[in-house]
Structure 1
């Protein structure tokens, strides 16, 4: 068959490759000597989660980039994580920064957009049609899950008429766009909370304002009255009058999670929080949740609203270790457990969760974590290294005022997260019905109302 006589249908991937309609590839095997402070991001699985996150990505220098050739991203590529954490997908858009694929990633690249529409390819790959094929081959080795190029070439892909592809992509994109707006709003809300913490407890803006005889900007009189108007020296540090220098351990204790056995990992069971549920530096990543059927103790459980902290990093990049995350609502209906690579923070009741969560995002905290992380291949940080962190502790009333304002922001973000989860569920339920023809594209809005 030639491309000019191509007909919609179900095709083996290798057939589409032979027809030069589709290209697939894996990542560039970079040498340490090719990595640089500058260059293109070297994308690993950790950089792919509901889009691209290159803020702390390694960089491949000019020499490596020149050798990477086809393994450099192009708009329209659909990539998926093919080693270790298998099955995350992302679409390279026109505004996505160019990057180099690492060996943890594979890409599928439509070479004929009039036959395979890239955005449709992304949704099809994210759906049950490909995921079921990936799941059937990913555990064939004794090592970590892996899907090689040979297996990918043997897979099958559904190629509807191009008009249908574009219609399906438009429907699903409209849902994704709503979700992305919510994510952008959440990023803004989190930035507002961090900015408020920095202003009050790092830069001491209200204290400086009152010291100058001014009303603190954007603050009501009742809250402003809680702040002192001068500094005192404690152990060589300037501290707002009436505040104290204390150790983080005065506010919290830490429990270590369950040392689990791989044989008890399952597709269902007790939700288990682990290193995969952390974003770099801070934040909860729902896609990293695992499920466990083994034994555990009560001290290995957490609830929504609790703070967990990564005590390990499987790389030397020190991005995950020390990262805090707030356990969100909606994770199962029973117990939630956490692994031995994770601490659960136990609040002693002297300061609110939001205050402590933001302490764990300060430069002083990150520097302490990085300075006390030890290990040649796997990094770890001890409980006491975190609890001995010196902090400047305000009065309880000021902490309470901050927590009220920060909680309002995070509650809004949590509602946005619930809506994002619902939109994702709707999108995933629509995809197979649209592909099979069970649901007409023109009637999708009525179908959504019934979900």
Structure 2
């Protein structure tokens, strides 16, 4: 039994060594000219669930001399000793130096584990550092408020029950096997993601289908019906040449980027009534294990649900689909939604600009790099006619931010494609002081109940209803036959609850 295992202090089994302060003026970007230079390991290269993520983070190579004792060996374990968020989620996160032919250097603010006894298995030590108890110990003993720091002595003071060596090896082997399987699945997902991103760039950035048609060729990789959606010529715009009839828009004009709340101001109602707080650490981990707790009675827009697109705009910039269950949206995270373009488009569009956003954040003078809303406005791309493209996307993402569960009861809602390409839906916000006015002018009817109004408006071959326009006046909205989209009934119900 684990209660029979001896209680030991980590410092009796290992020691933690500091890194070296490599000088930033000698950092070189990772390219062909610097490929043979050593890599300076940085906190940003760590995965929040343990391990490194060199493939998706900025790599800094070093072009100067340094003490040789800071050269790392394959298999060395490094620990994060500084966390840029007050929750300290990544304090103590470990990663093992890969054996991939690169030379890695031990940077400051990272601790290097040196095991001093055969009583502790190296892989077991790695997994020990990923336990919530270890992280809690470091957070509780850390210095700083907004930026937390730990130290070798605090790491070494952690106490735990040490199993026999054989059991350590068996536990670590099982976890390593699971980790390997998870890593393989993530690599598969990354491959599919890269395919989708490449397709997005081809269609909406490089305009390859339009260039092919302009040259008299059939666009590659698509059927005739899809190819027919693209024009065969270009026109000038603020971005240069764009497909004829397409419009240039900014990210924040096609989607809403809702910043989260300072959730320490919204404590949970009780031990049993709460929402786990989704911070950057939870976004990167993909779950809310060990997360802080907040009120379960937040406004619905600040509740994160499976399928939501989240964008961390501070610290570690990431754009991800959330699949970790219901949670509360913390500050430094945007929840991205749109009523004008489908989810797959604003997800891939935001990811397209992620490298430039990361570059902006990397050059911020503050310790915690970030972007500002103006950068969303400055990020522009060309959009096709919503009526042609949006209802039937040809990339592997859902066509509406509302479509979450294909088994869920859905309702069909009519929409109109405006001149600027945006979509106006018959949603609950179409209600005025009298109710919902639907039907053609000569036979318009008011309904106080949304569901009755929806059934009535859908009974017309050409759905027609009234809603406020940009000037605040009531205006007629006439939809073309067939311009409808399915939404989960629960999605509409949440809108009604917010009214």
Fold-level similarity (TM above 0.5): yes
Higher helix share: 1
- Could you tell me whether the CA contact under 8 Å between 1:76 and 1:109 is conserved in 2? no
Instruction: Answer yes or no: is the 8 Å Cα contact 2:279–2:329 preserved in 1.
Output: no
Aligned runs of 1:25-44 on 2, under 5 Å?
25-37=17-29, 39-44=37-42
Instruction: Quote how far apart the aligned CAs of 1:184 are.
Output: 0.8
Residue pairs, 1:158-237, within 5 angstroms: 163-235=166-238, 237=240
**Counterparts of 2:204 and 2:256 in 1: how far apart (Å)?**
22
> Structure 1 residues 293 and 346 mapped into 2: Cα distance closer, same or farther (>3 Å)?
same
Partner SS state of residue 406, structure 1: coil
Summarize deviations over 1:39-68 as a string: whole Å, max 9, x none: 43332333211421235445363545x22x
The CA distance in 2 between the partners of 1:159 and 1:141, in whole Å, is: 24
What is aligned with 2:82?
A: 83
Q: Specify the alignment match of 2:43 in structure 1.
A: 45
* Structure-2 separation of matches of 1:250 and 1:134: 40
CA distance in 2, matches of 1:400, 1:192: 19
**Superposition pairs of residues 393-404 of structure 1, within 5 angstroms:** 393-396=383-386, 399-400=389-390, 403-404=393-394
Match of residue 311 from structure 2: 309
1:324 and 2:316 matched: no
Does structure 2 retain, via aligned residues, the 8 Å contact 1:81–1:89?
yes
Q: Are the equivalent residues in 2 in contact too, given 1:25–1:71 (CA < 8 A)?
A: no
With over 3 angstroms needed to count, the CA separation of the structure-2 counterparts of 1:388 and 1:177, relative to structure 1, is closer
Does residue 338 (structure 1) correspond to residue 338 (structure 2)? The answer is no
- How far is the alpha carbon of 1:188 from its aligned partner? 0.4
Distance, in Å, in 2 between the alignment partners of 1:244 and 1:255 is 24
* TM-aligned CA deviation for residue 96 of structure 1: 7.8
SS at match of 1:391: strand
> Alignment partner for residue 94 of structure 1, among 99, 113, 116?
99
- The answer for unaligned runs of 5 or more in structure 2 is 84-89, 406-499
Q: Of 263, 276, 279, which residue of structure 2 is paired with 1:271? A: 276
For the Cα contact (< 8 Å) 1:274–1:288, is it kept in 2? no
Q: Report the CA distance shift for 1:160/1:47 in structure 2 as closer, same or farther (over 3 A).
A: same
The structure number with the bigger radius of gyration is 2
Cα distance change of structure 1 residues 87 and 404 upon mapping to structure 2, 3 Å threshold: farther
The offset of 1:187, in angstroms, is 0.7
| Aligned equivalents of 1:165, 1:374: Cα separation in 2 | 44
Q: Are residues 402 and 198 of structure 1, via their aligned partners in 2, closer, same or farther at CA, if it must alter by over 3 Å?
A: farther
CA distance in 1: counterparts of 2:363 and 2:375, whole angstroms: 11
**Count of paired positions:** 377
Aligned to 2:376: 386
Cα RMSD over matched residues? Answer: 4.1
- 1:367-405, Cα deviation, whole Å (9 max, x unpaired): 478669996425554435424543211122553377452
Assess if the C-alpha contact under 8 Å between 1:276 and 1:288 holds in 2: no
Give the Cα–Cα distance (whole angstroms) in 2 for the partners of residues 217 and 352 of structure 1. 24
Question: Structure 1's 374 and 107: CA in aligned 2 closer, same or farther, altered over 3 A?
Answer: closer
Structure 1 residue aligned with 2:111? 106
Report the equivalent of 1:3: none
Residues 354 and 166 of structure 1, relative CA distance in 2, 3 Å threshold: same
Structure 1: unaligned runs, 5 residues or longer: 1-7, 17-21, 314-318, 416-451
| 1:89 CA drift (Å) | 2.4
The equivalences for 1:424-439 within 5 A come to none
Q: For the structure 1 residues 337 and 138, does the alpha-carbon distance in structure 2 shift closer, same or farther, using more than 3 Å as the test?
A: closer
Give the Cα separation in 2 of the matches to 1:32 and 1:242: 47
Q: Distance in 1 between matches of 2:18 and 2:158?
A: 16
Aligned counterparts of 1:138 and 1:62: Cα–Cα separation in 2: 35
* Partner SS for 1:360: helix
**3-state SS, counterpart of residue 20 of structure 2:** coil
Work out which of the residue numbers 118, 121, 127 in structure 1 matches 2:125: 121
Give the SS at the match of 2:133: helix
Deviations along 1:96-136, one digit per CA (max 9) or x if unpaired, are: 84423334322223467x65442233234434xxx535523
Task: Provide closer, same or farther for how the CA distance between residues 381 and 181 of structure 1 changes in structure 2, counting only shifts above 3 A.
Answer: closer
CA distance in 2, matches of 1:381, 1:216: 37
Q: Tell me the CA shift for residue 190 of structure 1.
A: 0.6
Work out which of the residue numbers 253, 257, 261 in structure 2 matches 1:254: 257
Distance in 1, Cα, partners of 2:393 & 2:159: 52
CA distance in 2, matches of 1:157, 1:259: 34
Report which stretch shifted further, 181-190 or 143-152: 143-152
**253-262 or 206-215, which moves further after superposition?**
253-262
Shift of 1:360: 1.7
Change (3 A) 1:408 1:203: same
Q: Provide the rounded CA distance (Å) in 1 between the counterparts of 2:164 and 2:357.
A: 57
Report deviation, 1:86: 1.4
TM-score by length of 1: 0.69
